[in-house]
Structure 1
């Protein structure tokens, strides 16, 4: 019996040979299914790649107060070391995804994670803030090769019934990387300053890159295509013309803007009065990212049971509740609030990104690239806007901004009735039955 979602292809025409009626049909291996050895290798490899990506992407987020002091910068100006990286990733992700259609997913992912780690090492020795920003911009371009390509790789290599769980585990790797990067950064910054912290995170990411390359299975369902600029533009117009995909892209942007606002300026709040926490303790608070590890995998199961709209509504509500909990000036409220907010954010991201892979009928790499571009633009644009609110009103301003974003997310998710796994699977079965008839 063939698992749902698998495909068979013959040999290229020039190499094909007559097949006798009694000879077995040459078949391409099935897509990786939950429980198989290949599925476990895919999950671990992409988990580590996600760890490296999030650790590198937000290396300087915990270091913003130190950068403000070292280079005499305002919080909003120091946050440029984060915004330029996410912005460069957002701009580069679509061209790089087009390149992946020609040279392959695994090759792009490998070059991406290795180049980003090496650029991180160079950034640690930047003589001034301008050079640091330039290197962080290049790092964002390098990191662009991983997220959209990884999502397309999963959509191609993992069977449909297992895709939600696999995507959830990949996003869980993002949360672990974000947590581990912040922990390493906080302790290393206390020991040797911001340069030591960047070196430590970059070496950690380089180790993840090596293991990723050793583990990741080669693509078995990828066929190179010479996509032209006109074809790419047509594919992008097609995806942007889909109302459901547009809303999913908006959801990625909204969730990331809320998350980036809280974590960009959390360090300033906790290092200052009335908390006055040391750098290492502020870094240790990022163990809260573990909440995202569990919530992103739980979101995959919730999507399968309740659909994407209900999952996204729940994620937005949880994110808003977490933001409200952080308002009192007491760690007994701030820490639980951050746990709740982080869980809501990663659940929303996992549900929206998985829905994109299921919704797109063609050009999955470009569909995923548009989602990633919107997602990181949320960080690049929403974070600084949240910073203006934080600077003007204090933490209340940042929280009100997050609540507004969550409210818009609920509205954006309202029409997404047809993006759940069950309706998509039903439409696939309907088309298959019509073709057979």
Structure 2
């Protein structure tokens, strides 16, 4: 391979690759999280509890988590462009199908399948960038892909809620599906063919050896646990705060409640700043700072003034994005080898936390209201703090 094999910054292929992967990230996270603002609507239509409504998200993230550790290896054998393309098209079609007049069990089955096919994008997109983009331009290309992820997650939620306010939740989900399908077809048209990809057969023995090596690494164990607890708390907050904001205490509309997802923009900015401060003050200190910010924001949501609650959500979100940025970057440092697989295991823990706590929080909400949700998230943050302290002890004398 020589330098001419790479896609160079400023070229037509560079712009096409960036735009295509932006679309892929948008489709992935808009379809994955489209149901999150719809939980109150599902409770009303199907006559179920908030916890059962949350399964429409938890089933998808659970399937995504289970499939992620092998998606990168599948792309090595099948091809990165092909796997991503099939994934975004199928995810869009499944979103359209889930908008039909089906019962809850069939809806959950579709969401489970959607999570499986979406696993073909996150780790594979990063592998494509590392394969094809000139090393000096990977940072900016990766940043645009991550921006697509954040934009999809935020826009999908807001658009879903607004369309639901105007029409119905089924029309909203269908709208997300149609938009995603158009972007998926553009992805196929825009993404340049792989130049440097070398097909490699899937060797389960090698895959298992590196997998168990990561799972036995005490430092990585702490980071995986941090992913589980922090993401669990984050999704739990957003899953159930809409019930409180739509309820008699604040009596907001669906479109108004959707604006809370604009907090993601503050979170993304905060994570960038924390990343810069980490280089100066160290990972451990900034991780503890991020967890403290999450705790402060969580306490603010207990207040009865709407402005204070919104500020609490924004502060909590900033803390979460900071903790996630620090922990995910730390994984590569501690992994040593097979870093992509270690990152997949981190994301596995991340989405497992989303699935388990995201649904478990519904039982706390049904029993004790918003105070119960805050209690659960608080316990998760305490567990995350203990994991951070253990990690700090293990790495104190190392240059990490």
Structure 1 and Structure 2 fold alike (TM over 0.5)? yes
Match of 1:115 in 2: 90
CA contact (8 A) 1:168 1:296 kept: no
Is 2:80 the counterpart of 1:105?
yes
In 1, Cα distance between equivalents of 2:276 and 2:191: 24
Q: Tell me the equivalent position of 2:160.
A: 185
Cα distance change, pair 104–303 in 1 and its aligned pair in 2 (3 A)? farther
Aligned length: 397
Q: Give the equivalent residue in structure 2 for 1:281.
A: 256
Specify which of 359, 367, 374 is matched with residue 399 of structure 1: 374
- How far the C-alpha of 1:352 sits from its partner, in A, is 2.4
Q: 1:143 aligns with which of 81, 101, 118?
A: 118
Q: Structure 1: how far apart are the matches of 2:335 and 2:189?
A: 30
What residue number does 1:257 align with?
A: 232
**In the TM superposition, what is the alpha-carbon distance from 1:303 to its structure 2 partner?**
3.9
CA spacing shift, 1:161–1:280, aligned 2, 3 Å: same
Higher Cα Rg, which structure: 1
Match of 2:201 in 1: 226
Alignment-derived partner of residue 235 in structure 1? 210
Q: Does structure 2 conserve the Cα–Cα contact (< 8 Å) formed by 1:165 and 1:297?
A: no
Q: Distance in 1 between matches of 2:386 and 2:132?
A: 33
Evaluate the alpha carbon distance shift between residue 140 and residue 227 of structure 1 in structure 2; reply closer, same or farther with a 3 A threshold: same
Matched, 1:353 2:331: no
Partner residue in 2 for 1:432: none
Contact map agreement 2:271 2:322 (CA 8 A) in 1: yes
- TM-score when normalising by structure 2: 0.89
Q: 1:395 to 1:410 in 2, by over 3 A?
A: same
Q: Deviations over 1:150-188 (max 9, x none)?
A: 344445556888767765554443332221111111111
Task: Let me know the Cα RMSD of the aligned residues.
Answer: 2.9
Alignment of 1:35-434 (within 5 A): 44-156=19-131, 169-219=144-194, 222-414=197-389, 415=391, 423=399
Q: Secondary structure at the match of 2:252?
A: coil
Cα shift at 1:47: 3.6
Distance 2:179 2:132 in 1: 27
Q: How far did 1:272 drift?
A: 0.7
For residues 191 and 67 of structure 2, the distance between their equivalents in structure 1, rounded to whole angstroms, comes to 23
In structure 2, the CA distance between the partners of 1:308 and 1:109, relative to structure 1 (3 Å rule), is farther
Q: Name the SS of the counterpart of 2:201 in structure 1.
A: coil
* Residues 64 and 115, structure 2, Cα contact 8 Å, conserved in 1: yes
Give per-residue Cα distances to partners, 1:237-292, cap 9 Å, x unaligned: 12212222222222221111011110111121111121111112112332222123
